[in-house]
């Protein structure tokens, strides 16, 4: 049950990141808003899983509130980072400059 709640929270964080991205980056979505939502959701869920079970959190044995904060902040920030990278890649491609 806890895993289901975490996945739902990560999906919500992905949706929030996609919704806030035009305001944060002051640019329209390069691939459209319909592409940003799935990109953010997948990124948030994958990073959340990596945080929770594979990488940093199990290794360091943090005190109880810190792992939950990390599992919420890092997927959100990672989703925004992926969107920023996509904007940079789209801007630097020759087809985008025409």
- pLDDT at residue 55 in the model: 56
- Cα gap 47→77, rounded to integer Å: 10
The pTM score is: 0.80
- Cα gap 56→27, rounded to integer Å: 33
pLDDT by position in tens, the chain (length 98):
778 988 999 999 999 999 999 888 888 788 888 899 999 999 999 998 887 765 555 566 667 777 777 778 889 999 999 999 998 888 777 765 55
Tokens encoding 23 = 């305001």
- pLDDT at residue 26 in the model: 85
At 24, which helix (H) or strand (E)? helix 2-25
- Cα gap 28→30, rounded to integer Å: 6
- pLDDT at residue 71 in the model: 78
- pLDDT at residue 42 in the model: 96
- Cα gap 7→10, rounded to integer Å: 5
- pLDDT at residue 13 in the model: 94
């Amino acid at each position: 049950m806890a895993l289901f709640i975490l996945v739902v929270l990560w999906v919500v964080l992905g949706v929030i990141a996609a919704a806030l991205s035009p305001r944060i980056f002051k640019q329209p979505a390069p691939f459209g808003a319909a592409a940003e939502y799935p990109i953010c959701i997948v990124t948030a869920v994958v990073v959340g899983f990596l945080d929770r079970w594979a990488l940093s959190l199990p290794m360091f044995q943090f005190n109880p509130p810190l792992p939950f904060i990390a599992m919420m902040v890092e997927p959100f920030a990672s989703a925004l980072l992926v969107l920023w990278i996509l904007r940079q890649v789209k801007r630097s491609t020759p087809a985008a400059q025409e």
